[in-house]
Amino acid sequence: LVIPATNTLLTAEKFAAINYALGYSEYPQREFDFLWRKLIESMDHNHDGQGGLPGDERKRSYAEMAILQGGEILRDRLRNIAERVEIPFGRCFPIVVFNPLSWQRSDVVKAHLTLYGEVSPRDLDDYRKGMRLMDEKDSPIPFHVEQYSENISRALDITFIARDVPSLGYKTYYLRPAGTTESTPVTAQLTFDSEQDHRDPRRPSGADTMDNAFYRVTIDKPTGRVTVFDKALGRDIVKNMEMVGVEERGGNYIGIEPLSGRTIPGMIDRIALEENNLVRAVMRLSGQVAGVPVTQRLILYRDAKRLDMENSIEWNHGPQVRIQQLFPYEIPNAEVRYGLPFGSNAADRLMANTGPYQVDEISQESWLKARHIQNWIHAGTPQYGFTIASDHQLMKLDDGLIRAEMVRGVKYTSVKVVREDQVGSMDYPPPGTYVCRYSLVSGAGDWKAVKAYRTGMSFNQPLIPVSVVDYVSRKVLPPSQSLLSVDGDNLVVSSLKKLDYGPGIALRFFEYEGSPANATVRFLGKGQVVREVNMLEEDLPGGEQSGLAVRPYEIRTVRLPAGR
């Protein structure tokens, strides 16, 4: 919960600051202060304390509160902007797609919108005949209706790829009626091993494949192992990906992890096509790992070079195993690099004279392999490589193998629990469905050339669609614009907020790739003269500047005029 809660509050701050600068609403400073403090409290180290399960649940609720209440602030501020965007067409339903990150991007959008007639809500015959999605230039956008629900009006869940959405800005799309629904091509060409059954039923089992313009995904029928071939690079990027269970003899959830030496492979019961349409193709693998039901969805897109993976684990006090997603690769002399707050690190760069030294900490061997990543991890050479974007943080590294940790069953925790005459411990992890998501992207060049950090940050901060419902109020904003941009291809905006004291706006950005940059700022469509401040938002010497020279890995904070 910490990652989505943090991203929700950061995004809400950005668009609340923009609303404040535009004069659309006041800045909810007290609400943000409260939510940030509670989110920090939710990360308190004192698990299994004397507060017991009620204390643990309360901390969990603090993170959920940041998502819920921060999300309400965000939705209100996005709608303040969306409802002011021009509608250049007559009969249409606008969808304003917001980009919370500081670079122009193309990405997947999943939108929900409600259709209703102009006089009676049920007057939708023109939309029932057919629909088309257009941008402001009246160019058609491929889309897919995931589902619709209907009583009087009609609600749709649609998926499409939004292209070139401006940095920290928005781009508008319009759902319009069409005379007919055109037949559309599919995303992937599919080959199923079962197609050979009639011709040769006595042969050994083979593989199913999904092919699009970018990748060939091969799924081995007996094992469920997945190999991904990059067509542009002409080589396998990962080979024999799978979910496995690494068995333990029974350790605790802090640092004692005695391994039995056995790795339990996943057993696949069924491989099935879930969808194959104009936007994406989805294959579903169902089975179990050490008796724990698991499902994997593999998602290819027609117009985006990426393979998304969604792993669901149905945990119910399972065995003493750690369930992992394996990413094996064969890249000679590959460097592994991963994201950190305000930068990245090479996997072989460790601080000298560090490591575990207490008896309750993990072993030296385990410590050397473990990495807590932020958003992404990349394996490759200066010539080519691949990036894994992840919504989970713990990875283990072996030669030619990245292990993504998902769920770990433990024998005991650090607390002793006595119930009547039974002495035991707490059951962790609690029963439930655990979902781990990854996105695999490959390409030519090293991690900087492919912007691996953008892949990871985009995966965890998706584009945000807002369906417009107000057709009466005055429309003063263009269909597409950047609300904030910082020149410099290697610069990343980490926060945008109102100053704690005074009417200005605080902008913080940093250099990611280890190269100098010259930063100029555009805010609300205008080039800005900025004043540098420290982390406490106090003015630094130097006066106002139209541009800043940024050193490698430097973090800079500047003050912008509010514009009100």
What band does 318 get if pLDDT is binned at 50, 70 and 90? confident
Residue 334 included in any domain: yes
What gap in Å lies between CA 81 and CA 539, rounded to an integer? 31
Residue 459 included in any domain: no
Task: Please check whether residues 264 and 361 belong to one and the same domain.
Answer: yes
Instruction: Give the pLDDT of residue 119.
Output: 63
Does position 234 have pLDDT exceeding 80, yes or no? yes
Residue predicted with more confidence, 444 or 543: 444
Interval 433-449: pLDDT, tens? 999 999 999 999 999 99
Task: For Cα atoms 22, 24, 26, give the angle at the middle one, nearest 5 degrees.
Answer: 100
Instruction: Give the pLDDT of residue 371.
Output: 93
Instruction: Give the pLDDT of residue 56.
Output: 77
What band does 563 get if pLDDT is binned at 50, 70 and 90? low
Mean pLDDT of 174-192: 85
Domain termination residue (choose one: 142, 157, 184): 184
Mean pLDDT of 27-47: 88
Instruction: Give the pLDDT of residue 266.
Output: 94
Strands 169-177, 131-135: pairing is antiparallel
* Alpha carbon 369 to its chain's center: 24
Instruction: Give the pLDDT of residue 46.
Output: 63
Contact 556, 510 (CB under 8 A): yes
Interval 190-218: pLDDT, tens? 999 888 877 888 888 889 999 999 999 99
Task: Please check whether residues 361 and 212 belong to one and the same domain.
Answer: yes
271: closest CA among 320, 332, 308, 225?
225
CATH of the domain at 99: 2.60.40
| Inter-axis angle of helices 452-460 and 2-22, nearest 10 | 90
Instruction: Give the pLDDT of residue 90.
Output: 84
Q: How far is CA 234 from CA 206, 216, 237, 299, 557, in A?
A: 22, 10, 9, 21, 44
Does position 226 have pLDDT exceeding 60, yes or no? yes
Instruction: Give the pLDDT of residue 7.
Output: 94
Task: Please check whether residues 7 and 70 belong to one and the same domain.
Answer: yes
What gap in Å lies between CA 393 and CA 456, rounded to an integer? 11
CATH of the domain at 559: 2.60.40.2220
What gap in Å lies between CA 310 and CA 406, rounded to an integer? 12
Residue predicted with more confidence, 45 or 336: 336
Mean pLDDT of 509-527: 93
SS3 call for 188:
coil
DSSP strands (E only) in 483-520? 484-486, 491-498, 505-511, 517-519
Domain termination residue (choose one: 184, 219, 248): 184
Task: Please check whether residues 281 and 410 belong to one and the same domain.
Answer: yes
Instruction: Give the pLDDT of residue 381.
Output: 97
User: What range defines the domain where residue 563 resides?
Assistant: 483-564
Instruction: Give the pLDDT of residue 91.
Output: 85
Instruction: Give the pLDDT of residue 126.
Output: 80
What band does 478 get if pLDDT is binned at 50, 70 and 90? very high
Tokens (6 digits) for 132 = 């088309």
Mean pLDDT of 273-278: 94
Residue 487 included in any domain: yes
Does position 263 have pLDDT exceeding 80, yes or no? yes
Rounded CA Rg of the chain: 25
Mean pLDDT of 374-378: 97
Listing DSSP states for 307-376 in one string gives: EEEEEEEEESS--SEEEEEEEE---TT-EEEEEETTEEEETT---TT-S--STTSPPHHHHHHEEE-SSE
Report residue 157: phi and psi, to 5°: -115, 115
Residue 472 included in any domain: no
Does position 54 have pLDDT exceeding 80, yes or no? no
Instruction: Give the pLDDT of residue 51.
Output: 64
Instruction: Give the pLDDT of residue 47.
Output: 61
Instruction: Give the pLDDT of residue 49.
Output: 62
Q: How far is CA 435 from CA 288, 313, 375, 455, in A?
A: 15, 6, 16, 20
* Domains: count for the chain: 4
What gap in Å lies between CA 540 and CA 189, rounded to an integer? 59
What gap in Å lies between CA 371 and CA 32, rounded to an integer? 31
Instruction: Give the pLDDT of residue 159.
Output: 95
Strands 93-99, 464-467: pairing is antiparallel
Interval 55-111: pLDDT, tens? 778 888 999 999 999 999 999 999 999 999 999 888 889 999 999 999 999 999 999
Task: Please check whether residues 390 and 507 belong to one and the same domain.
Answer: no
Residue 360 included in any domain: yes
Residue predicted with more confidence, 418 or 444: 444
Residue predicted with more confidence, 359 or 281: 281
Task: Please check whether residues 199 and 292 belong to one and the same domain.
Answer: yes
Mean pLDDT of 160-187: 90
203 Cβ contact partners less than 8 Å away, ≥ 6 residues apart: 196
Task: Please check whether residues 97 and 127 belong to one and the same domain.
Answer: yes
Does position 352 have pLDDT exceeding 80, yes or no? yes
* Mean pLDDT over each residue of the chain, to the nearest integer: 91
What band does 20 get if pLDDT is binned at 50, 70 and 90? very high
Kindly report which listed range (104-118, 130-144, 188-202, 490-504) carries the lowest average pLDDT score.
188-202
Mean pLDDT of 17-38: 95
Instruction: Give the pLDDT of residue 255.
Output: 78
Instruction: Give the pLDDT of residue 118.
Output: 73
Does position 158 have pLDDT exceeding 70, yes or no? yes
| pLDDT > 70 in the chain, percent | 98
Tell me the residue type at 179. Answer: G
The answer to pTM > 0.75 is yes
SS (H, E, C) 378-420: EEECCCEEEEEEECCCEEEEECCEEEEEEEECCCECCCCEEEC
Task: Please check whether residues 412 and 332 belong to one and the same domain.
Answer: yes
Domain termination residue (choose one: 62, 82, 102): 82
Task: Please check whether residues 278 and 388 belong to one and the same domain.
Answer: yes
Instruction: Give the pLDDT of residue 96.
Output: 97
Instruction: Give the pLDDT of residue 52.
Output: 67
Q: Which H or E element spans position 298? A: strand 292-301
212 Cβ contact partners less than 8 Å away, ≥ 6 residues apart: 187, 188, 189, 281, 300, 301, 302
Instruction: Give the pLDDT of residue 433.
Output: 95
Mean pLDDT of 349-373: 88
Helices of type H across 124-234: 125-129
Residue 466 included in any domain: no
Residue 17 included in any domain: yes
What gap in Å lies between CA 53 and CA 68, rounded to an integer? 22
SS3 call for 79:
helix
Tokens (6 digits) for 505 = 């706006």
Instruction: Give the pLDDT of residue 363.
Output: 86
Tell me the residue type at 558. Answer: V
